[in-house]
Amino acid sequence: MNASRRIMPYPLRSTAAALLSVATLGFASHAVAQQEPIKVGILHSLSGTMAISESTLKDTVEMLIAQQNEQGGLLGRQLEAVVVDPASNWPLFAERARELLEQHEVDVVFGNWTSVSRKAVLPVFEELNGLLFYPVQYEGEESSENVFYTGAAPNQQAIPAVEYLLNEVGVERFALLGTDYVYPRTTNRILEAFLKEEHGIADEDIMINYTPFGHSDWQNIVAEVRRFGSEGKKTAVISTINGDANVPFYRELANQGIDAADIPVIAFSVGEQELSGIDTGPLVGHLAAWNYFMSVDSDANYDFIDAWIDYTGDEEAVTNDPMEAHYIGFNMWAEAVRKAGTTEVDAVKDAIIGVTVPNLTGGYAAMMPNHHITKPVLIGEVQDNGQFDIVWQTPSTVAGDAWSDYLPGSRDLISDWRKPMECGNFNVASGSCGGSTAAEEAEAALAE
C-alpha cells in the first residue's frame, strides 16, 4: 500500500481505495458493492491487420469469464467483460487503455499482441495504476510494475530452441529471417550474441535477413537460403517472421522443395492458427518453439479444446499458445483476487506473486517476482493435419527472465517487484535501481 499511497492523485485509485475502506468498515454499502460486477477489460484489436491474431484472444477471455460466472463468479460477484477495439492502431491502444481504466474503471485488463502496442499502453497503465496481462511471447528487456507477462521471454522460447538445434539436430549454420520490427531485431541480436559467444559459430555461418510486414514475394530469399544450406554444413532457419508473411513464405519453401529433413525452419511466431491458412502437407517436419501446443496430451488441454469448440461452435477451431497464456493469466488473477479478498490493484499485485495455477500441458505455472511466469518449453514438428507433434521439451519448467543474459547492459539487471526491492531494473553491479540504461542502449543499437 505504501507504493500506491505515494502516487494516489488519480480518480480511479482514490475511488477504489474509498470503496475498499468503506467495504472493510462494514457499512450498508458493503452489500451494494458486492452486487456490482467485477469489470474485466479486453484490449484486443477486432479490426485492422492484427484482428487476425487478436480477435480469438478476445473470445478466449470472454469464454473464461463465462466459465468463471458459471462457477459463481469471484468473491460472490459476477464478472463482466468490457470490450474495446483499438483497431490495430498503436496510439489508439493508449487511448482505449485510458478509456478502460478511467471511464469503465475496470479492475484488470487482458490485452495487446504486438510489442509496439504494449509499449504504447505502458505509460497509461503505470500512470493510472492498472493491471495488464500480456499473453504473447516477446523480446524481453522490460519489466513493469503494472504488467504481467504470461507469454514467453526469450529464455523461455528462443534460447532453448536454438540449443535444441545445436545439440539434438547438430545444426552448424543459421539463417535468421525476421520481419523488420522490434521483436525480431531484439531476438536476433540476443541469438547472434548467444551463438557467437557461447557456441563459437563463425560470422560466415550466420545469415540475417529482414523483410517488411506482409512481405509476399519470398522467391529470392528462399533461393538464397537454399544456396546457404547447400554448402555441406547442416543448416537451419530461425524464423521470427510475423503473421501474414508466413503463408507465402511457407508456400515458397514448399514449392522450391526445401525439405524439413534437409533445412528445418524453426519458427517463434507460427502457431496452429497461422498454419490453418496453409496446406501443411509439404511442411511436415518444420519446427516451432512454444510453451503450449494444441496437440499436448493432457486432460486439462482436452477439456479446454472441447470448451473452446463448444464456445465458438466451430468444429475446426484451433487453440494456440497465447490462448493458453490468457488461460493461465486469468486463473492467476482470479486466484490472487481470492487470496487478497479484493480486486484492488495494489493488493492483487502483491498477492499474485507466488500464485501457482495449472497450465494446459499437465504442469503448473507460477508467477515470479519479476512478473514473468514459469513455463515448459516445447519443440514441435509440423504435421500434415496442421498440428504440431512435440519432439522435445525441457525437463522442467523455465522461469522467465526479463533481462537477457546475453546482451551487454542488460546482463547485470534483475527485476523483483516484492518489497523491499520493488524495482524492475535493479543493477546488481552498481547495486542501484534503474542503474543501467539498458533499454536506451538496446534502442540505440536497433537504430544503427
Partner 1 sequence: MRYPPMPGPAAVGARAGSAAEDSEPMHAATRGSWLMVLVLALAFVLGLTLTAPVSAQEAEAADDTAAQALLEALDVSSFSAKGEAIEAIVRSDDPRARDWLQALLDGRLQRTDDGRFVVALDNSGRQWPVEDALTGEALGEMSRRDLERIGINNALRNQLRSAIAVVDLYAADVGLRRASAERLLGEVDGDLAGPLAKVIEEEPDARVQERLIQALAIYRLEQGEFAAIDDLRGSLHPRVRVAFNRVLNSDDPALVDGAREALNSIEQMLKVNRAVETLYFGLSLGSVLVLAAIGLAITFGVMGVINMAHGELIMLGAYTTWAMQQLLPGQPGLALILAIPAGFLVAALAGIAIERGVIQFLKGRPLETLLATFGISLILQQLVRTVISPLNRTVITPEWMSGSIAINDALSLTLNRMVVLGFALVVFAALVLIMRRTRLGLEVRAVTQNRAMARSMGIRATRVDILTFALGSGVAGLAGVALSQLTNVGPNLGQNYIIDSFMVVVFGGVGNLWGTLVAGLSLGVINQVLEPWAGAVMAKIIVLVFIILFIQKRPRGLFPQKGRAAEG
Q: Which residue ranges make up the site for partner 1 (CB under 8 A)? A: 46-47, 49, 51-52, 55-56, 169, 180, 209-212, 214-217, 219-221, 223-224, 230-232, 244, 247-248, 251-252, 254-257, 260-261, 264, 273, 276-279, 282, 284-285, 297, 302, 315, 381, 383-385, 389-392
Between 262 and 422, CB nearer to partner 1: 262
SS3 content of the chain, % helix, strand, coil (to 5): 45, 20, 40
Q: What whole-number distance in Å separates Cα of residue 142 and Cα of residue 403?
A: 7
Among the listed residues 98, 147, 83, 152, the one whose alpha carbon sits nearest the alpha carbon of residue 118: 147
Between 10 and 311, CB nearer to partner 1: 311
Between 36 and 297, CB nearer to partner 1: 297
Between 17 and 391, CB nearer to partner 1: 391
- Residue for grid cell 471511464: 103
Provide the CB-side half-sphere exposure for 179 (13 A, CA): 22
C-alpha cell at 303: 477439456
Residue at 397: amino acid letter: T
Per-residue CA distances from 200 to 175, 185, 394 (Å) = 16, 21, 23
Among the listed residues 60, 93, 83, 5, the one whose alpha carbon sits nearest the alpha carbon of residue 344: 5
Query: How much is the CA Rg of the chain, to the nearest whole Å?
Result: 22
Among the listed residues 143, 146, 203, the one whose alpha carbon sits nearest the alpha carbon of residue 173: 203
What is the nearest approach in angstroms of partner 1 to the Cβ of residue 244?
Answer: 5
Between 107 and 381, CB nearer to partner 1: 381
Helix, coil or strand: residue 83: strand
- Written as one string, the DSSP assignment of 36-75 is SPEEEEEE--SSSTTHHHHHHHHHHHHHHHHHHHHTT-BT
Between 286 and 371, CB nearer to partner 1: 286
Between 251 and 349, CB nearer to partner 1: 251
What is the nearest approach in angstroms of partner 1 to the Cβ of residue 169?
Answer: 7
Residues 6+ apart with CB under 8 A from 346: 1, 3, 4, 129
Between 54 and 142, CB nearer to partner 1: 54
Alpha helices (H) along 157-298: 158-164, 182-199, 219-228, 246-255, 272-275
- Written as one string, the DSSP assignment of 147-197 is EEE-S--GGGTHHHHHHHIIIII---EEEEEEESSHHHHHHHHHHHHHHHH
What is the nearest approach in angstroms of partner 1 to the Cβ of residue 12?
Answer: 31
Q: What whole-number distance in Å separates Cα of residue 401 and Cα of residue 398?
A: 9
What is the nearest approach in angstroms of partner 1 to the Cβ of residue 224?
Answer: 6
Between 252 and 324, CB nearer to partner 1: 252
What is the nearest approach in angstroms of partner 1 to the Cβ of residue 311?
Answer: 16
User: Which residues pair with residue 356 across a beta bridge?
Assistant: 366
Helix, coil or strand: residue 318: coil
Between 325 and 379, CB nearer to partner 1: 379
